[in-house]
């Protein structure tokens, strides 16, 4: 789902951290080729998914490589024939790419109940790419609804059974436990990295953080964790740090095709992005999947309580988490980057904006969408926000 | 003055003119029933006896009406009504000024704007809610919209959901854990209402409500069945008016009365071979929502060339879906889950093909409704499937409740071209 296809930016510092980030970026850039090769050589099956809420740990436990289908800011070629233009660009783009040659190595696609546009994308894929494996996981939309947990656990059992049939192998509890541990390990390392952004002078910029997060969608997590660990080790020795004076938070799903460009604009001004509410970033690391007890129940518990984005209702948890983070990361201003036609963010925006205002944090909202990116306006608005912040000091 | 069917002089009953839709007279009763409902709810609320709850049209009304003096209100209806009266724009602008984007649900923006601008009872506002009840299986965004209402009204909310129906066929039996999940959520709703109203759930009363609900469904099905008659006794478009009632009051005696009146008139027309359009030439299927602020625009242009809507997916939303059956909560899940907006594209294709065949349609019109997007999802594949069956289709874009997205000229031009296609095909045939 996230769009990080074009997130490479100038490395601010010529040092080991930069080199490691370059490695990650290279891996991300070549992810399609890498996955094709690994499939050919090792025969490893690759299963795509659209949304972070997909229980990836079950796919991992089956022996397949889960890959998030990313969107891009490229023009839509295929999906325009299947979904209306007034669907958020992330959905249209991800569907477009998944049906085209970029993801031609996929052995299947797992849909997850997030909202109506994503369900439609799954339906279209299932209808038009009929020869591949598909499964739809009915994750409750109202996560606190009566019976939601029991229902979701049952759905996870069905998902596991479906994967077992497809993969021709039993998924044992120990396989699930092992995939949970790997996924928790990623969270643990990312948490350390996020801690370093709380420093008065953050050790890593928002643009770099985006680059660090991007490969997690397609890389084997062990290898990814390895590089992350090395980054954590060398980061404190970093001689130069992001120079921006104003500490900003970016509220976005990382869905927007132009997110990387906007982040670069922000950090070219006198600002540094200290935290972003991305499903793969901050929202992913706030809690771990419990490791004791029944693994599928633990996975259900984790996703039902994840608050990864405002797509799941009630959104109170996500709003509280965002406000808490704004405080913990000493945020002085907030940039909302909201995809046109995105209901979850569109509905939650006025509430969060007002709550931020109540605690003295000014914000701006930037709308994005296919072919819509008024760079000059974005620049001016960021400058205006910085002035507002400086005026508050 | 709107009359009941028995009070209408049959010898003076209009037989219609070519090129014009002859409207059903009894559907006008909907408004008088609606006024009565509003009056009663306002009065009970003022007396401290009534409990007003704002709901989505996919809630189990049977459970709500099993409680005394609980009045469910549909913001969907209120938004539609304001739009129908061409009064919605200031409310929508008010919601937008609070940060709600113009591309969000248009009836939500309207009803929220009504509160922001303090629309009065005399101006047609709904009573303020004492609680909110939201379901997901008609539209995912409703969960977000109801949270926004909660923010403004600061009242308790109950959330209930039914998963998507994933088929593979429309009549595939529902898995047990779906039924149990839905039943548990209905039991949660019962507890919620008990807490809000201080009443105990009355099973006797509930069974009576279920009977009335099923009666409403049966009459509605009869009315829809009569639409298959050639010439069609009514324009399917007319049924959108009482549809609002079935969405709000199924399970009430009032709804039974209203639909019995409409049905009597429809039966009279069928028996006397009175078509709603005397020069009926083309029978059309419609999928989407009418643009409420310009309600008769489409039927009027089509009628001039002898084209009439004989069926729609929207009016069929309230058939199986309103089948409360025995009233067992598990059983209700099995019926409700196949709601058109809760099924996949494969099932939508199956559904629309079936309707077009049964009603012997010559063409289909789809509205790409950017103000209510779930309707539009899957249309392109459905259109493709219908065209393969030899049914020409037209797709136009608008926003049902926001007239700022409407263009008379553009829609007229599309309709005229479509009518030419129908005529050419007829000549060719």
B1 has a pLDDT exceeding 80: no
Asked if the C-beta of B147 comes within 8 angstroms of chain A's C-beta atoms, the answer is yes
Residue A158 distance to chain B (closest CA, Å): 11
Peptide bond between residue B168 and the one before it cis (omega within 30 degrees of 0): yes
Asked if the C-beta of B104 comes within 8 angstroms of chain A's C-beta atoms, the answer is yes
CB-CB neighbors (< 8 A) of B104 in chain A: 343, 346-347
Confidence grade of residue A284 (pLDDT, cut at 50, 70, 90): confident
What pLDDT sits at residue B337? 86
Q: Which residue is closest to A118 within chain B, CA to CA?
A: B377
Paired residues of B70 in beta bridges: B51
B110 has a pLDDT exceeding 70: yes
Asked if the C-beta of B344 comes within 8 angstroms of chain A's C-beta atoms, the answer is yes
Which ranges of B337-407 would DSSP assign to H, the alpha helix?
A: 345-358, 379-388
Measured CA distances, A51 to A32, A56, A137 (Å):
18, 10, 11
Strand A108-112 relative to strand A271-276, pairing: unpaired
Kindly determine whether residue A142 and residue B381, on different chains, have CB atoms separated by under 8 Å.
no
Asked if the C-beta of B336 comes within 8 angstroms of chain A's C-beta atoms, the answer is no
CB-CB neighbors (< 8 A) of A351 in chain B: 148, 151
Kindly determine whether residue B377 and residue A83, on different chains, have CB atoms separated by under 8 Å.
yes
Distance of CA B95 to the CA centre of its chain: 24
Asked if the C-beta of B296 comes within 8 angstroms of chain A's C-beta atoms, the answer is no
A311 has a pLDDT exceeding 60: yes
CB-CB neighbors (< 8 A) of A86 in chain B: 103, 368, 370, 373, 376
Mind listing the pLDDT tens digit for each residue in A127-137? Answer: 999 789 999 99
Query: How does DSSP classify residue B165?
Result: B
Kindly determine whether residue B187 and residue A81, on different chains, have CB atoms separated by under 8 Å.
no
- Please give the ipTM for the structure prediction: 0.94
Confidence grade of residue A279 (pLDDT, cut at 50, 70, 90): confident
Q: What is residue B137's three-state secondary structure?
A: coil
Measured CA distances, A267 to A248, A277, A279, A323 (Å):
10, 17, 21, 22
What pLDDT sits at residue A372? 66
Mind listing the pLDDT tens digit for each residue in A229-272? Answer: 999 999 998 888 888 899 999 998 865 567 888 899 999 999 99
Asked if the C-beta of A270 comes within 8 angstroms of chain B's C-beta atoms, the answer is no
CB pairs < 8 Å spanning A and B: 136
Confidence grade of residue A15 (pLDDT, cut at 50, 70, 90): confident
Residue A117 distance to chain B (closest CA, Å): 7
DSSP element (H, E) containing B55: strand B51-55
What pLDDT sits at residue B64? 96
Kindly determine whether residue A145 and residue B159, on different chains, have CB atoms separated by under 8 Å.
yes
Residue A20 distance to chain B (closest CA, Å): 41
On the 0-12 / 13-18 / 19+ scale of CB atoms within 10 A, B423 is middle
What pLDDT sits at residue A392? 67
What's the pTM? 0.94
Query: Which of B143, B151, B184 is nearest residue A313 as measured by Cβ atoms?
Result: B143
Measured CA distances, B64 to B20, B69, B129, B137, B326 (Å):
41, 10, 14, 18, 16
End-to-end CA distance of chain A: 37
Q: Which residue is closest to B397 within chain A, CA to CA?
A: A84
| Measured distance CA(A81)–CA(A103) in Å, rounded | 19
What pLDDT sits at residue A12? 46
Query: Which of A115, A146, A354 is nearest residue B188 as measured by Cβ atoms?
Result: A146
Instruction: Taking residues B42-70, report their average pLDDT.
Output: 95
Tell me how crowded residue A322 is: count the other CB atoms within 10 A of its CB: 25
Query: Which of A120, A148, A348 is nearest residue B377 as measured by Cβ atoms?
Result: A120
Confidence grade of residue A190 (pLDDT, cut at 50, 70, 90): very high
Q: What share of chain A is helix, strand, coil (3-state, %, to 5)?
A: 50, 10, 35
Asked if the C-beta of B152 comes within 8 angstroms of chain A's C-beta atoms, the answer is no
B221 has a pLDDT exceeding 90: yes
A10 has a pLDDT exceeding 50: no
Question: Chain A 348-387, CB below 8 Å of chain B: which residues?
Answer: 348-351, 353-354, 367
More reliable by pLDDT, A205 or A11? A205
Asked if the C-beta of B140 comes within 8 angstroms of chain A's C-beta atoms, the answer is yes
**What average pLDDT does the structure give for chain A?**
91
Question: Chain A 133-172, CB below 8 Å of chain B: which residues?
Answer: 136, 138, 140-142, 144-148, 150-151, 154-155
């Amino acid at each position: 789902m996230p769009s990080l296809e074009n997130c490479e930016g100038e490395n601010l510092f010529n040092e080991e951290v930069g080199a490691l980030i370059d490695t990650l970026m290279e891996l991300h850039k070549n992810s399609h080729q890498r996955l094709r090769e690994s499939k050919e050589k090792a025969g490893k099956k690759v299963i795509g998914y659209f949304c972070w809420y997909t229980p990836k740990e079950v796919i991992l436990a089956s022996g397949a490589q889960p890959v998030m289908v990313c969107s891009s800011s490229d023009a839509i070629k295929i999906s325009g024939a299947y979904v209306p233009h007034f669907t958020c660009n992330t959905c249209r783009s991800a569907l477009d790419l998944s049906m085209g040659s970029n993801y031609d190595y996929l052995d299947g696609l797992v849909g997850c109940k997030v909202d109506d546009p994503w369900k439609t994308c799954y339906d279209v894929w299932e209808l038009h790419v009929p020869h591949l494996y598909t499964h739809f996981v009915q994750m409750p939309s109202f996560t606190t609804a009566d019976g939601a947990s029991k229902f979701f656990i049952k759905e996870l059992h069905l998902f596991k059974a479906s994967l077992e049939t497809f993969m021709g192998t039993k998924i044992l509890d120990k396989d699930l436990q092992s995939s949970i541990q790997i996924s928790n390990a990623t969270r643990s390392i990312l948490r350390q990295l996020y801690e370093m952004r709380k420093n008065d002078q953050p050790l890593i910029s928002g643009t770099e953080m985006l680059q660090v997060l991007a490969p997690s969608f397609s890389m084997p997590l062990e290898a990814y964790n390895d590089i992350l660990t090395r980054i954590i080790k060398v980061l404190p020795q970093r001689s130069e740090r992001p120079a921006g004076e104003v500490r900003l938070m970016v509220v976005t799903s990382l869905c927007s095709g132009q997110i990387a460009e906007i982040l670069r604009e922000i950090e070219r001004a006198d600002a540094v992005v200290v935290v972003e509410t991305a499903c793969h970033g901050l929202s992913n690391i706030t809690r771990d999947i419990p490791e004791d007890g029944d693994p599928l129940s633990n996975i259900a518990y984790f996703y039902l309580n994840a608050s990864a984005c405002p797509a799941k209702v009630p959104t109170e948890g996500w709003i509280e988490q965002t406000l808490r983070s704004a405080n913990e990361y000493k945020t002085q201003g907030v940039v909302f980057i909201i995809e046109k036609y995105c209901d979850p963010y569109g509905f939650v925006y006025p509430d969060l904006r007002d709550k931020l205002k109540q605690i003295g944090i000014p914000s701006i909202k930037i709308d994005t969408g296919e072919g819509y990116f008024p760079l000059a306006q974005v620049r001016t608005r960021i400058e205006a926000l910085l002035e507002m912040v400086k005026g508050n000091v | 003055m709107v009359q009941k069917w028995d009070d209408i002089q049959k010898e003076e009953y209009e037989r219609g003119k070519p090129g014009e839709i002859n409207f059903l007279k009894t559907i006008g009763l909907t408004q008088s029933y609606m006024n009565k409902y509003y009056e009663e709810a306002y009065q009970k609320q003022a007396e401290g006896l009534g409990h007003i709850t704002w709901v989505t049209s996919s809630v189990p009304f049977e459970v709500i009406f099993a409680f005394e003096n609980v009045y469910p209100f549909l913001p969907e209806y209120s938004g539609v009504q304001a739009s129908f009266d061409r009064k919605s724009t200031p409310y929508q602008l008010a919601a937008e000024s609070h940060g709600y984007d113009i591309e969000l649900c248009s009836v939500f923006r309207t009803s929220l704007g009504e509160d922001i601008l303090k629309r009065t009872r005399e101006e047609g506002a709904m009573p303020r809610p004492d609680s909110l009840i939201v379901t997901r299986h008609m539209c995912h965004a409703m969960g977000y919209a109801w949270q926004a209402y909660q923010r403004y009204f600061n009242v308790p909310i109950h959330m209930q959901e039914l998963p998507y129906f994933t088929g593979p066929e429309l009549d595939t039996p529902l898995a047990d854990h779906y039924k149990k999940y839905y039943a548990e959520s209905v039991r949660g709703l019962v507890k919620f209402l008990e807490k809000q109203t201080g009443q105990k759930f009355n099973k006797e009363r509930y069974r009576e409500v279920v009977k009335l609900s099923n009666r409403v469904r049966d009459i509605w099905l009869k009315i829809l069945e009569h639409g298959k008659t050639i010439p069609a006794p009514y324009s399917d478009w007319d049924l959108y008016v009482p549809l609002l009632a079935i969405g709000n009051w199924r399970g009430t005696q009032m709804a039974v009365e209203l639909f019995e009146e409409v049905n009597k008139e429809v039966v009279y027309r069928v028996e006397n071979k009175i078509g709603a359009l005397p020069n009926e030439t083309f029978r059309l299927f419609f999928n989407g929502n009418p643009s409420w602020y310009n309600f008769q625009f489409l039927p009027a242009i089509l009628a001039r060339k002898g084209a009439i809507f004989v069926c729609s997916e929207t009016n069929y939303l309230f058939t199986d879906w309103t089948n409360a059956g025995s009233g067992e909560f598990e059983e209700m899940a099995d019926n409700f889950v196949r709601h058109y907006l809760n099924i996949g594209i494969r099932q939508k294709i199956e559904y629309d093909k079936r309707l077009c065949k049964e009603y012997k349609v010559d063409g289909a019109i789809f509205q790409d409704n950017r103000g209510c997007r779930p309707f539009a999802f899957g249309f392109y594949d459905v259109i493709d499937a219908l065209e393969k069956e030899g049914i020409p289709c037209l797709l136009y874009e608008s926003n049902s409740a926001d007239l700022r997205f409407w263009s008379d000229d553009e829609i007229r031009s599309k309709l005229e071209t479509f009518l030419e296609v129908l005529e050419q095909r007829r000549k060719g045939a």
